[in-house]
Structure 1
Amino acid sequence: MSSITIGLLQAGFDGLPLENAGKAVDMVRKGFREADLIVLPEYSMLNPFKIGDPVKVYGYAETPVTSKYLSELSRLAEELGAFILAHFIEKTDTPPLTYSTSVLITDKGEAIPVYSKTHLFDAYGFRESSFFKPGKGPGRVVSVKGVKIGFTICYDLRFPELYRLYALSGSDLILVQAGWVKGPYKEEALDKLASVRAHENTVYIALADHVGEAFVGRSGVFNPWGLRELDLGWRETYMEHEVDASLVAEARKTLPVLEQAKAKWEIKQAG
């Protein structure tokens, strides 16, 4: 079975897009060893809550084809010979709303949008829907070095059906780009939810979180048994970790929940 080395960047990004790109490039370049795929956190292009005004956020949004922000990361991907998963504020045709999009940059520098955030963070007093349009469901499942990968963003972690769909689509690894806001029991929730999503789907979860005054950090990797294998703690850092798809196959043989799942339940809300 295949394996892949994941690089996770955990940092705070309070500037404008090119400034934030420069910080990400510097941190990754200094810490890089042998990662095949590097994951940047949510809001690493721009933090909409820091800007505060949806119209101003839309003014900084770009399209993938012409993006100066993605161009900076594309150069780094080519330099390192690694894939990079960027978080991207994408223009729509319905201003001032944008898409919260995961863009996979290949080791050749090609930028490919793979997912737009489905579940917007309208909770705990926040209204992410003031800035973003929701995506339309699961994104692509992409193979990197023979490991099949699904993509999610932050608040999606609270919605298990999305992760089950990725697992049933063959994902060995599901990536989470997060800007997990601090609050009572929020750090504990992040840790437990990532662990449960991994175990209930016998899949790896790799999570890159924003950190700083407003965000909890605690980025890391969770194996198919739900055990945390890597913890980036509460500081700005970059770390790498190997994900072995043979452990996914072993877990699914021992615990065949995906084979046993009733995949076509019809769920209707009461009332």
Structure 2
Amino acid sequence: MARCLTIAVCQTGPIQRSASRAETVGRLVHLLEKAAAFGAEIAVFPEMALTTFFPRWRIDDQAEIDTFFEASMPGPETQRLYDAAARLKVGFALGYCELAHEDGRTRHFNTMDLVGPDGAFIGRYRKMHVPGSSEPEEGTTTHLERRYFEPGNLGFPVYNYRGVRVGLAICNDRRWPETYRMLCLNGAEVALLGYNTPLLLDEAPALAHLRMFHNHLPMQAGAYQNTLWIGAAAKAGLEDGQALIGGSCIIAPTGEIAAQTMSLDDEVIVHRADLDLIETCRKVNFNFALYRRPDQYKRISDPV
């Protein structure tokens, strides 16, 4: 009998700065309900799914900055989503801004949690590849993630979800081959990720027509080269004056896009992922045990 996991990608339209946390969580609950109605077993939400993408601004007041962060998960405003997961028997991966107290200090991470179909916490990932700068740069799209977030310190963990090995990634991580390779070497069969990506970059207007191509390209390559299913959820549309690309998708280990959103608004796509396809793809090209055995290769420094 084939092993399968029905994956839902829950794209959101823009989340304006004026939106309350309660309003936003309500939208996410509705998306999870739609995913469940479509037969999903797991869902993924975007990066920073609870707030606007605030790193587009320079903010100096730390108290104001911390209003975008979650001191605990679930918290009073997000508990509804966890309760919905338990009611619907559908787990999820959720991107959010994490306020952590570690090593005797307060730390800020761009985080994604994996939650089970019982609404219980399974595992956490913190974004490794933090892009942008700490100060605005002339001629460059303002993207101040390095001002507000530390690089992740949890590596690329992979978790068991209903007998399936699931890893997580966030936004800029998807552009780096190391992300997929580390997840694969750690045993991942499915990678879930969320992103917020501008439609236009001031520093590269000549590449504007390639934004969606460059969005999908590394994910398709990562899925193919590492024999993974990928579910990628975007925040889309015009958010606080900045256009976000959308293009949420589910990608097979063949590198093919199995499903893709058609809008720049709240939308759910679902695909029943055949996990046995992973083994088929490994037999064709990427049998690591056969082709990547260290004892089969001599280093340049080895004597002949």
TM-score, normalisation: structure 2: 0.80
1:241 aligns with 2:249: no
Partner of 2:284: 254
Equivalent position SS for 1:101: strand
Deviations 1:42-61 (A, max 9, x none): 12111223675362231342
Partner of 2:204: none
Cα deviation, residue 37, structure 1: 0.5
What root-mean-square deviation, in Å, do the aligned CA atoms of Structure 1 and Structure 2 show? Answer: 2.4
Partner of 2:205: none
Residues 115, 122 of structure 2: 8 Å contact kept: yes
2:229 pairs with 181, 204, 218, which one? Answer: 204
Deviations 1:96-122 (A, max 9, x none): x52111111211111344201111121
Between the aligned residues of both structures, percent identity stands at 22
Cα deviation, residue 68, structure 1: 2.2
List, as ranges, runs of 4+ consecutive aligned residues in structure 1 with deviation greater than 6 Å.
262-266
Aligned mates of 1:45, 1:24 — CA distance in 2: 9
**Unpaired segments of 5 or more residues in structure 1?**
267-271
1:224 aligns with 2:253: yes
Partner of 2:195: 178
Equivalent position SS for 1:87: strand
Aligned mates of 1:76, 1:217 — CA distance in 2: 25
Query: Aligned residue pairs: how many?
Result: 265
Query: What is the letter of the counterpart of residue 70 of structure 1?
Result: T
TM-score, normalisation: structure 1: 0.89
Aligned mates of 2:50, 2:89 — CA distance in 1: 21
Partner of 1:24: 28
Aligned mates of 2:76, 2:57 — CA distance in 1: 19
Residues 1:107 and 1:92: Cα distance change in structure 2 (over 3 Å): same
1:10 aligns with 2:11: yes
Spell out the pairing of 1:1-271 with structure 2 (5 A cutoff): 1-12=2-13, 13-14=15-16, 15-33=19-37, 34-47=39-52, 48-49=54-55, 53=59, 55=62, 56-65=64-73, 67-93=75-101, 94=105, 98-122=108-132, 125=141, 126-183=143-200, 184=208, 185-213=210-238, 214-236=243-265, 237-259=267-289, 260-261=291-292
Aligned mates of 1:71, 1:119 — CA distance in 2: 29
**Unpaired segments of 5 or more residues in structure 2?**
134-139, 201-207, 300-304
Residues 103, 112 of structure 1: 8 Å contact kept: yes
Equivalent position SS for 2:191: strand
Cα deviation, residue 234, structure 1: 3.1
Partner of 1:269: none
Cα deviation, residue 140, structure 1: 2.3
Cα deviation, residue 160, structure 1: 0.7
Cα deviation, residue 171, structure 1: 0.9
Residues 176, 218 of structure 2: 8 Å contact kept: no
Aligned mates of 1:132, 1:263 — CA distance in 2: 37
Aligned mates of 1:258, 1:180 — CA distance in 2: 33
Larger Rg: 1 or 2?
2
Query: What is the letter of the counterpart of residue 127 of structure 2?
Result: K
Residues 1:122 and 1:27: Cα distance change in structure 2 (over 3 Å): same
Aligned mates of 2:149, 2:246 — CA distance in 1: 23
Query: What is the letter of the counterpart of residue 83 of structure 1?
Result: G
Residues 250, 258 of structure 2: 8 Å contact kept: yes
Greater Cα offset, 136-145 or 166-175 = 136-145
